[in-house]
Homo-oligomer: A and B are copies of this chain.
């Protein structure tokens, strides 16, 4: 048995000025910027959302701007296998998460739990 759900919206920005994009998106969506808590996270900034809502991050990237989804899970390997059975393909493992591609062509990531109410709110899947 494992759990998963939509964890985060990542607003990927092809930009030289991440702070400008964060200023726009935080004001547009009515979220304040979360203070940095990890020194290595120079390339993305989290926006404060209500703890019951999906997390939102604004990220500096080298590819064209897009939005991608992260699926959060308490068992990355089991969730990747579940999604492969649904037709998704593995693209790359990055540190402890997986980048996958949906049949519709969208890239998304499978990551560890991000939202504080993950335990109560996530979907529960029976593993084979």
**Chain A residues within 8 Å of B, Cβ to Cβ:** 4-6, 9, 11, 13-15, 20-21, 23-25, 27-30, 50, 52-54, 56, 58, 64-69, 71, 83, 86-88, 102-106, 121-123, 125
How far does the alpha carbon of A53 sit from the alpha carbon of B64 in the complex, in Å? 28
Whether the Cβ atoms of A88 and B28 lie closer than 8 Å is yes
CB contacts (< 8 Å) of A69 on chain B: these are 9, 67
CB contacts (< 8 Å) of A123 on chain B: these are 30
With A29-B5, A53-B54 as contacts: A102 and B67 at CB distance below 8 Å: no
CB contacts (< 8 Å) of A104 on chain B: these are 11, 13-15, 21, 24-25, 58, 65
- How many copies altogether? 2
With A21-B103, A65-B106, A106-B67 as contacts: A83 and B28 at CB distance below 8 Å: yes
Question: How near does chain B come to A22, taking the closest CB pair, in angstroms?
Answer: 10
With A25-B102, A27-B86, A28-B83 as contacts: A67 and B65 at CB distance below 8 Å: no
CB contacts (< 8 Å) of A28 on chain B: these are 71, 83, 86, 88, 102
How far does the alpha carbon of A82 sit from the alpha carbon of B86 in the complex, in Å? 41
With A54-B54, A87-B24, A103-B21 as contacts: A30 and B9 at CB distance below 8 Å: no
Whether the Cβ atoms of A29 and B102 lie closer than 8 Å is no
